[in-house]
Amino acid sequence: MKEYNVKDGDPIYCTLGTEKSSLCVAASHGSCIGGRNVATVKDCKTGVNITAFGMCMRDDPAVPCVPVILNPWLLGNSSVKISGEQALLSTSILSCACGGMIKIDL
């Protein structure tokens, strides 16, 4: 699988969520591709960069998704830094404390 730098608006999903979402990179870190801000591993804030994925399937019955992010994205681009942070790659992953794994859906 070829790796790509992730940009504002790229689709994301959670392994426990019922719906897809989009990564939000509203503030520029100084790099754009096609007019869209490039994401870094620090673009992981709930309600800012990461929004709900519909319902969370961790419980039965499912409950509304409220992502709980405690750490930055893993597996960033170690050879590309944007404002001192690793660029986010299409193969990067993000853990939710509720048990799901958030991934880029490219």
Helix (H/G/I), strand (E/B), else coil: 99: coil
71: containing domain: 1-106
First vs last C-alpha separation in the chain: 10
User: What is the residue type of 102?
Assistant: I
- Split into its structural domains, the chain has a count of 1
* CATH number of the domain encompassing residue 60: 2.60.200
> Measured between alpha carbons, how far is 66 from 46 in angstroms, rounded to an integer?
8
* CA contacts within 13 A on the Cβ side of 30: 8
Contacts within 8 Å (CB) and 24+ apart, 58-65: 58/16, 58/98, 58/99, 58/100, 62/18, 65/14, 65/16, 65/17, 65/18, 65/98
pTM for this model (two decimals)? 0.93
β-bridge partners, 102: 14, 94
Tokens encoding 44: 């992981």
pLDDT values of the chain reduced to their tens digit, one per residue, 106 residues:
678 899 999 999 999 999 999 999 988 888 999 999 999 999 999 999 999 999 999 999 999 999 999 999 999 999 999 999 999 999 999 999 999 999 999 7
